[in-house]
Amino acid sequence: MGNNKKVLVVDDEAHIRRVIEVKLKKRGYQVITAINGKEGLNLIKTQKPDVVISDIMMPEMDGKTLCELTNSLKKEQSFLTIIMTCRISADEEGWTDDMQDTLFIEKPFSPSRLVDCIDQYFGGPSE
Amino acid sequence: MKSNELDVPKMLRIGIILFLLVMTGIAICGQILIHEEKDYKINDLLDRGGYLTSLIALHPTKDLQGRKQDFFLRTLSEYSSYEGLVYCFIHDQAGRSFVSLAPNNFASQIPPDVQRASLQAMGLSKHTFQLNGTENTIYEFAKPIFESGQKTGTVRLGFKLPHISFFSFERIRFLAMIALLFFAVVLFFYYCIKLTLQPLKKLSQDLQSTCNGSDLMNSQTPSTNGVAFMVKDLGQSLSQIKEKLEKIEVDNMKLVSKLGVTAFEKKQIATILDSLNLGIIIVDIQDDVSHVNDYMLKLLKKSQPEAVGCSLAELLNHSDIQSFISQQEDGMNYRNGEYIETTFPEHAPGDTFSVSFSELKEIESGLVGKMILIRKITNEKLAEEARKDFIAHISHEFKTPLTSIKSYSEMLMEGEIDDGEMQKEFYNTINTEADRLASLIQNLLSISRIEMGSLAINKSLVKTELLIGDSLAAIETAAQTKHIVIEKNIPDNLSSIVGDKELLKVALINVLNNAVKYTPDNNHITFSLSDQDDFIVFDTIDNGCGISQEDLPRIFDKSFRSSDPMVREMPGSGLGLALTSEIVQLHGGEIDVESEPGEGARFSIKLPKEEYYLGKQ
């Protein structure tokens, strides 16, 4: 059940954090949450999560800045980054080309699909 | 050929004229010479006559008598033959002539008064008289002879001027030399003049060719022999030059007129260019600036004289524009309508400009210059950025509640939520997020309709009590959920207002909803109304997190949401206050906010009362 992998959920929307947290915990993942990029960055450095799920549009520090700042940390300890995007044009994801282990999931998404992506990253369904 | 045939008599005439001139000259010179010779001979005669008379008078009378008289007379006769001596009388003291050398009866032809005057003279005297019947003038010299202080006699000598011949050998030789010299001088000057006229002749030919142009072959060849022909040719040429000058003058007048029109048109074009709200630089084909309009001069902080004449690179000193123009000038890359976006940090910091380039061509002469157009697009860029931001924000605001609804419902449907309380929480969230989405859509539609001017406002008399009753009822549930008490301060007998009740409800509910949303649980908010002059003021005071000074000026901007985590924690589109502001303004009212971070906020909505509204109508 999740092999105690640690997932950080970064979103300023409480409802989104809540539903992802419930879904992941049911699959056996440890979940920690942050309400913006700045708080998320601190948790990545201190808690060293295995997966970071982040919204883009957030106060204080947005998801894009968070990704750019944490990409270099992946050399020491790799982790998967999943960006929740409200994509409005096809080319707006170009900035992730140079990012290591970074995926997009477009809003509105299915929680099951999100967890499947994480499972696949860790080598198949955790169940 | 014709001119050569005419040359012979002409030359003959000139020869005769020259000959007559020479003859006349010789005659005049001869006369002058004769006159001079006569004067000379008279003076000579006077000298010699006086000298000879004085010489004879030195001799005593006895030396002239007797045997010595013959010797004296013989010597005197020889002398008289070529010295012009006509007669010689020597008188004694009594006046009787004892020596007489004269032609027969000549003494009787001498006027008696002359003889008397001579005999009575005490020194050398001279008398002239005309010989009877002739034109000969006789010069008589007389001098008394003194011996031992006593006058012993008188010597009288008569001289006649020798004949002066015009055709003397010396004179003829002299005049011939003068004539020769004259002809030599004439010939010399003739050749000199001919030599001098050579360039004039050439000039004449040149002028003819200039005047006639292609008709040169048909023109009369100037005479090589006559200056007159040359002068005639020059005259013709001058006439033609005069005609040409007149034609040139007319053309010049036309050109001056055209130039005036062109200058006027140029000034008009410059005025038009100066009135444009974009920068224009016109350069010639050598990239030298020929015109810069007012807008561009103000941007570059230069004057027209400073700008005109210098090179484009010197004027702009802008590598981006130089590079763009170089690319455009390359025939392969040039396309009309191409532009770059750039900035002028030194001259207009913070502004963005679009720079485009056009080649100025004329049908006949091809490329004559280039035009660089520089347009400020700061507002367009800001508007574009704002539009992009708004779309991104709205997309986020739509998809966030949708994601919640989809995620929560999916988990419920898949039976993953067993706990009853959690199921209730999930259903509540779905419901709240659906309301949020509906509110967002309503607000967005209202805003777009207000902006498009298509929002139908159903204005009518609105009872203030009913308006606030409906608005408070709409937030009652949310307030109760958070255990927030709404303290109402509503006076009796409130004036009515004129407006669209539904829209005014939206405005008030947005403000009240925000107050409930951002006020912590178990707290209170105050809602009070008051009459202030022509307005009814709706004050909503909350005890929430307050608004930072940085956010205050922007809270009524469309799609603005505070970056405060306390605010972001709450669901919201950022459209509510923008819509409220629009609705209040549509009703001729005002909305104001006072707040300090951490100390809540006070929103005041002022709406005109019915009386004011009717009064205005």
pLDDT at position A54 over 90: yes
Query: Does one domain contain both B508 and B431?
Result: no
Query: Does one domain contain both B609 and B461?
Result: yes
Torsional sign, CA B426, B430, B435, B437 = positive
Residue B540 belongs to a domain = yes
pLDDT at position B233 over 70: yes
| Mean pLDDT within B9-22 | 82
Contact of B556 with B581, CB cutoff 8 Å:
yes
Tell me whether residues B392 and A15 touch, CB distance under 8 A: no
pLDDT value for A33: 95
Query: Does one domain contain both B356 and B417?
Result: no
* Short-list A28, A22, A23, A21, CA closest to A5: A28
Query: Does one domain contain both B36 and B69?
Result: yes
| Mean pLDDT within B39-66 | 84
Tell me the per-residue pLDDT of B433-462, one tens digit each, with 9 for 90 and over: 998 888 888 878 877 777 777 666 778 888
| Mean pLDDT within B40-54 | 87
Query: Does one domain contain both B535 and B420?
Result: no
Residue B204 belongs to a domain = no
Q: Which residues of chain B are within 8 Å of residue A112 when distances are taken between CB atoms?
A: 410, 414
Final residue before a domain boundary, out of B449, B469, B499: B449
Query: Does one domain contain both B328 and B465?
Result: no
Chain B interface disruption, residue of A12, A20, A82, A110, most B CBs within 10 A:
A12
Residue B462 belongs to a domain = yes
In DSSP terms, B486 is beta-bridged to B525
Residue B74 belongs to a domain = yes
> What is the distance between the alpha carbons of residues B189 and B182, in angstroms, rounded to a whole number?
10
Residue in chain A lying closest to B414 (CA): A112
Tell me whether residues B395 and A60 touch, CB distance under 8 A: no
Residue in chain A lying closest to B418 (CA): A26
Residue B199 belongs to a domain = no
- Provide the domain limits for residue B409: 383-449
How much is the pTM?
0.51
Tell me whether residues B400 and A13 touch, CB distance under 8 A: yes
At B41, list the tokens: 């001979």
Residues 6+ apart with CB under 8 A from B223: B3, B229, B230
Query: Does one domain contain both B96 and B62?
Result: yes
* Contacts A–B by Cβ distance under 8 A: 83
pLDDT at position B215 over 50: no
pLDDT value for B207: 64
Q: Does residue A59 belong to the interface with chain B, where contact is any CB pair within 8 Å?
A: yes
User: How many domains does one find in chain B?
Assistant: 4
Residue B183 belongs to a domain = no
Q: Does residue A16 belong to the interface with chain B, where contact is any CB pair within 8 Å?
A: yes
Residue B257 belongs to a domain = no
Domains in chain A, CATH or no CATH each:
2-120 (3.40.50.2300)
Cis check: omega of the bond before B345, within 30 degrees of 0: no
Query: Does one domain contain both B494 and B575?
Result: yes
Residue B269 belongs to a domain = no
Query: Does one domain contain both B81 and B151?
Result: yes
Chain B interface disruption, residue of A9, A19, A85, most B CBs within 10 A:
A19
Final residue before a domain boundary, out of B115, B131, B160: B160
Residues 6+ apart with CB under 8 A from A125: A116, A119
Tell me whether residues B402 and A22 touch, CB distance under 8 A: no
Tell me whether residues B565 and A35 touch, CB distance under 8 A: yes
Query: Could you tell me if the ipTM is greater than 0.95?
Result: no
> What is the distance between the alpha carbons of residues B586 and B608, in angstroms, rounded to a whole number?
11
Final residue before a domain boundary, out of B355, B376, B397: B376
| Mean pLDDT within B199-219 | 61
Q: Which residues of chain A are within 8 Å of residue B561 when distances are taken between CB atoms?
A: 59
Residue in chain A lying closest to B565 (CA): A59
Instruction: Give percent above pLDDT 70 in chain A.
Output: 91
The CATH number covering residue B296 comes to 3.30.450.20
At B469, list the tokens: 């009753």
